[in-house]
Amino acid sequence: MSYTAEEIAELKALCPEAAEGKEGSTTVLVLPSLSLPSGCVPPVVDALLWPGMRDNYPSRLYLSQKVVKPGAAQPNWNSSARILERNWHAYSWNLNRTDLRPVQMVAEHLRGLQ
Amino acid sequence: MKADIRLLGSVYAAAIADLSRPHPVAAERVGFISVALGKLSPNHFLLLGHGYTAVPDAHYLDYPRAGACIGPDAIRAAMQRILDTGAGQLHVHLHDHSGRPRPSRTDLRDMPALVKSLNVVGPACAHGAIILSSDRAWAQVTVPDSRQLFDASAVTVVGFPLLFLNR
């Protein structure tokens, strides 16, 4: 799987240093310094979008550290993984759809932190 | 020098099941596959994987710069297993994706030292490292005639279905 220039451009509007990476046969998207919804601590982390099926989720958004939300319900962190030689953490958030563009996937996953 | 690895289907299933479990501090898990050594010809070795041993949770170190870091207790246990059973040990971990796995820089840096330690206590055995993905594998081994790690030429799971993991 590879991404169109338009899809990458959409991601760069969200995250200027967005780039593709290859893990096995899957092309993932690395999103350095992604801004998180307000109230998250820390407010900015590196992220990685796994765009296909993994852990029985149709896609997953991994963050470089477990984010906390002071005074609010905490995300259910249920996966840690080593991808592109780096450790990542993902919270349980099931999009239940596979027809989204990458930037839409990221936005939908971030709703889990609102 | 050539080496084929054949894993019992039950050993492969046990490894995948254990290595897929989350760990409290590590991002991935590690285990060891016990192998018997045979020869198909003078320069063609056969490693038969007949047992899987998980690394206990307490034998991992909290070291976020690696996916998993096992401590001296885990390595001593593997060395003791060689002394107790005479079986060689393949360090095994899972790269959780489809397609051919590749060793990371950490794997390439740390694996030779581990295998060297295993060779000290089991010089008559084959030892090495194997990385599984969801459908393929990568492996390097040493055999008594050669203490240099070299790529396994085949990794096969014996069972139904028969799986060829490094074609």
A3-62 residue pLDDT tens:
899 999 999 999 999 999 999 999 999 999 999 999 999 999 999 999 999 999 999 999
DSSP type of residue A47: E
User: Closest Cα partner for B140 from B123, B116, B164?
Assistant: B116
In Å, how far is A87's CA from the nearest CA of chain B?
A: 6
pLDDT digits (tens, 9 = 90+) for A64-102: 999 999 988 899 999 999 999 999 999 999 998 889 999
Tell me how far the alpha carbon of residue A37 is from its chain's centroid: 13
The CA distance from A99 to B148, in Å, is 49
Alpha helix positions (H), A1-114: 5-14, 102-110
Look up the domain containing B128 and give its range.
2-164
Q: What is the CATH number of the domain that holds B106?
A: 3.40.140
A26, A59, A87, A88: best mutation site toward chain B, by most B Cβ within 10 Å?
A87
One-letter amino acid identity for B134?
Answer: S
How many separate domains does chain B show?
Answer: 1
Number of compact structural domains in chain A: 1
b/e map B6-15, b = 16+ CB within 10 Å: bbbeebbebb
State the complex-level ipTM.
0.74
Q: How far is A50 from chain B (nearest CA, A)?
A: 10
What's the pTM? 0.86
